[in-house]
Amino acid sequence: MTKKKLLNMMIAGLMAASHASLAAPRDETVSTASDQHGMAVTIYNDNLALVKEARRVRLARDFNQLAWREVSAQMRPETAQLRNVSNPVGFRLQEQNFDFDLLTPQKLLEKYVGREVSVIRTHPTTGAETREAATVLATHGGVVLQFADRTETGVPGRLAFPGVPDTLRDRPTLVISLANPVAGTQDLELSYLTGGLSWRADYVAELNARDDQLDLNGWVTLTNQSGAAYPNARLQLVAGDLNRVRDAQPEPRATMAMAAKVADAAEMQQESLFEYHLYTLQRPTTLAENQTKQVALMSATRVPVKKEFLLEGANYYYSGQYGELGQKMKVGVFVEFTNEGEGLGIPLPRGVIRLYKKDSQGNAQFVGEDRIDHTPKNETVRLKLGDAFDLTADKKQTAFQKLEGTSRYNYVFESAYEIVLKNAKPEAVTVKVREPMPGDWTMVNESQPHTKAASGTAEWRVLVPAEGKVTLSYRVRVRY
């Protein structure tokens, strides 16, 4: 008998005991989501969220055992804080327990190791049922039952349990022992940090026909795998890199299925918060359990774009003899724009920008994507989309000599290079050639003038004719 079939056979016994036994202990006050009258969720970048939930709960005077049901299954209980909003004076917390061991047939069976259960058999012909008492000896890798006169493995019938242990809950529950000064209905607020809630920014852009403008839409993608739902929540998102104390990594949780849902477009209000940025959705939203949802973040049209072709070298071949450095080398394609203007000019959270462009028939085609970091307003966004198909380069070292020096700290090298850029496009293009230069370098001669982009970088802007080629040559002296 398979383990799955075994667990299914026990469900009947579990259901027979569940309704009576899942009732709270007599001295326990139960609060469910139906008591809720307010919910706020703040989600951070790194799989962390702050949940604040307000409920109206009827409490007795003095000692109460409050079972706050339907909290996140990934709650960090050490961060939980319960406040009495209506009568805070004299309200004291004494103890709290987070019951996340959820009721399943297997869990129930494990709790009954060493205890007695009833084995129910059904006669295959008459349908008559018989009961026999047995003690559960073990549950790992199968079930071992001790009857009065024998020991059996497997389950010869259904199992019936006399009750469900108090520590097994059908939903994650925070059980709080507290002293309450006034009997009656109280306004309580529970706040806690939890894992299982995350968000990321996703951007979709479309280039125009001339590649000099784009339309950009930003979306916040929310994922709830926390084991709880957050109905009608006031949603806020924090963008930035928070420092967190890292504990030992927990055992990985099973991956949960997600249902994608796109929310109605509604831009978020942005504000500064300490050294981070806070985004607030302007209406309540529901984060259902095991759901991915998208909410509009920003939208901008006709954003000016610069397109660039870049061939980037390396600094290793300036201190040795190498000869051929590459044939048909790829030329990278980049686009960049400034985070300013109508629709932009706000801090852009870290995320992926995916670019599309319409073909000759008007169908939008995917042309590349890149990841951006948190980007303040007025900063440049630079994206690498891939490598140009119609642009290639051949590079070789044409000369090399050591001029002086006896150790690596006083060498002087002089070397020459030739780069042939080829363009198969029907129009001319400009290719930026960027060469990292090591040490103290001097350009001895060159076929085209360079610019010193940085202390260790030389750059050339080379115009390559349509369906043609051009050769860039230069000689450089490097002193270490």
pLDDT digits (tens, 9 = 90+) for 204-261: 999 999 999 999 999 999 999 999 999 999 999 998 766 766 655 444 333 333 333 3
Position 9 confidence tier, pLDDT thresholds 50, 70, 90: very low
Q: What is the rounded average pLDDT of the residues 391-418?
A: 91
Would you state the pLDDT for residue 281? 87
- Structural domain boundaries of the chain? 3-18+26-193, 196-304, 306-339+379-479
pLDDT at 141: 85
- Higher-confidence residue of 256 and 118: namely 118
- Say what the pLDDT of residue 155 is: 80
The predicted-structure confidence for 330-363, as pLDDT tens digits, reads as follows: 999 999 999 999 989 888 999 999 999 999 999 9
pLDDT at 267: 58
Token duo for residue 411? 């060498």
- On whether the CB atoms of residues 191 and 52 are closer than 8 A, the answer is yes
- CB–CB of 136/113 below 8 Å? yes
Cβ atoms 476, 414 nearer than 8 A = yes
What's the rounded Cα separation, in Å, for the pair 159 and 120?
6
Residue-level pLDDT at 15: 39
pLDDT score at 165: 84
pLDDT at 140: 87
Position 278 scores a pLDDT of 85
The arithmetic mean of pLDDT across residues 11-25, rounded, is 42
Q: What is the pLDDT of residue 135?
A: 94
Question: For residues 393 and 433, what is the distance between their CA atoms, to the nearest angstrom?
Answer: 10
**pTM for the whole thing?**
0.70
- Provide the percentage of residues in the chain whose pLDDT is more than 70: 89
What Rg value do the Cα atoms of the chain yield, rounded? 34
Please tell me the distance from the alpha carbon of residue 152 to that of residue 150, in angstroms, as a whole number.
7
Which of these, 107, 79, 89, 103, lies nearest to 23 by C-alpha position? Answer: 103
CA distance readout (Å), 289 to 292, 351, 472 = 9, 23, 60
The torsion angles phi and psi of 143, rounded to 5 degrees, stand at -110, 135
Look at residue 247 in the predicted model and tell me its pLDDT: 59
> CA neighbours within 13 Å on the CB side: how many for 316?
3
What is the rounded average pLDDT of the residues 110-125? 91
The answer, yes or no, to whether residue 282 has pLDDT greater than 70, is yes
**Residues sharing a CB contact under 8 Å with residue 290, sequence separation 6 or more, in sequence order:** 224, 225, 256, 257, 258, 259
Of 24-28, 74-78, 222-226, 406-410, the one with minimum mean pLDDT is: 24-28
Instruction: State the amino acid at position 26 in one-letter form.
Output: R
Structure tokens, 214? 């784009």
Q: What's residue 264's pLDDT?
A: 41
- For residue 3, pLDDT beyond 70: no
Q: What is the pLDDT of residues 309-318, one digit of tens each?
A: 999 999 999 9
Enter the CATH code of domain 306-339+379-479.
2.60.40
CB of 61 closer than 8 Å to CB of 92: no
Q: Among 103-107, 295-299, 306-310, which stretch is predicted with the lowest mean pLDDT?
A: 103-107
pLDDT digits (tens, 9 = 90+) for 167-187: 788 889 999 999 999 999 999
Whether pLDDT at 105 is above 50 = yes
Of 14-23, 93-102, 417-426, give the lowest mean pLDDT range.
Answer: 14-23
pLDDT-derived band at 276 (thresholds 50, 70, 90) equals confident
pLDDT exceeds cutoff 90 at 437:
yes
Can you say whether the dihedral through the CA atoms of 368, 372, 378, 384 is positive or negative? Answer: negative
**Residue 108 in tokens:** 């129930």
State the chain's mean pLDDT as an integer.
Answer: 87
CA distances to 47, 226, 311 from 3, rounded to whole Å, are 34, 27, 60
pLDDT of residue 167: 74
| pLDDT tier for residue 13 given thresholds of 50, 70 and 90 | very low
Per residue in 368-386, pLDDT tens? 999 999 999 999 999 999 9
Work out the number of other CB atoms within 10 angstroms of the CB of residue 427.
8
